[in-house]
């Protein structure tokens, strides 16, 4: 068997998992704007062309990063029912996003990864147990995730007490009760 060159050995050891891990490290250290196929290849000590065996383009790489971030949110099952479970899931997502530099940008750039995640399924299941129809539960779960990712509720709004209806301003200027 012919001896492999150092480049060939590195490329042979290149996997999607290794690629995603290196990309997350790069984003943590230098930010999302620094993420490019060339910068990632330099970090992995491979040629940029070898990355394309594993991902089509930067968009697919971002999808993999989003999936990795979402998969690493620890599952939570809070005592006290669906409301506490949903709040705990949102808090766990917010913490994970805060721990990953530009995690919010990654997830919001490839928002279609959110409804495919196990976290979305878990939140949706809790909302269905509260009486929402599957389609409604899916939409509300997505809205909750986006809210947790995008940031906190402005401080001039008092939190809604458990058991109280929450109201939202509708674009038309009227008020709707959720």
Can you list the domains of the chain with their CATH numbers? 8-68 (1.10.10.60), 74-151 (no CATH)
Cα-atom radius of gyration of the chain, to the nearest Å? 20
Question: Residue 75: which pLDDT band, with cuts at 50, 70 and 90?
Answer: confident
What does the alpha-carbon distance between residue 88 and residue 82 come to, in Å, rounded to a whole number?
Answer: 10
Q: Which pLDDT tens digit goes with each residue over 99-123?
A: 999 999 999 999 999 999 999 999 9
pLDDT beyond 80 at 142: yes
Determine the average pLDDT of the residues in 143-168: 66
Per-residue pLDDT, 159: 55
User: Considering the chain, what is the average pLDDT of its residues?
Assistant: 84
Q: What are the C-alpha distances in Å from 122 to residues 42, 98, 107, 117, 142?
A: 38, 21, 18, 9, 11
Q: Which pLDDT tens digit goes with each residue over 63-73?
A: 999 999 999 99
């Amino acid at each position: 068997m012919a001896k492999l060159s150092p480049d060939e050995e590195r490329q042979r050891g290149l996997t999607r998992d290794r690629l995603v891990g290196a990309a997350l490290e790069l984003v943590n250290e230098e930010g999302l704007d620094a993420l490019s196929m060339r910068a990632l290849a330099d970090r992995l000590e491979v040629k940029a062309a070898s990355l394309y065996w594993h991902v089509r383009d930067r968009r697919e790489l971002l999808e993999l990063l989003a999936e990795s971030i979402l998969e690493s949110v620890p599952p939570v099952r809070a005592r006290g029912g669906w409301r506490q479970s949903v709040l705990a899931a949102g808090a766990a997502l917010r913490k994970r996003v805060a721990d990953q530099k530009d995690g919010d940008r990654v997830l919001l750039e490839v928002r279609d990864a959110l409804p495919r995640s196990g976290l979305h399924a878990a939140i949706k299941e809790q909302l269905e147990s509260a009486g929402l129809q599957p389609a409604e539960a899916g939409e509300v779960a997505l809205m909750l995730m986006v809210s947790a990712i995008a940031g906190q509720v402005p401080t001039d709004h008092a939190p809604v007490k458990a058991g109280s209806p929450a109201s939202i301003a509708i674009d038309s200027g009227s008020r709707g009760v959720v």
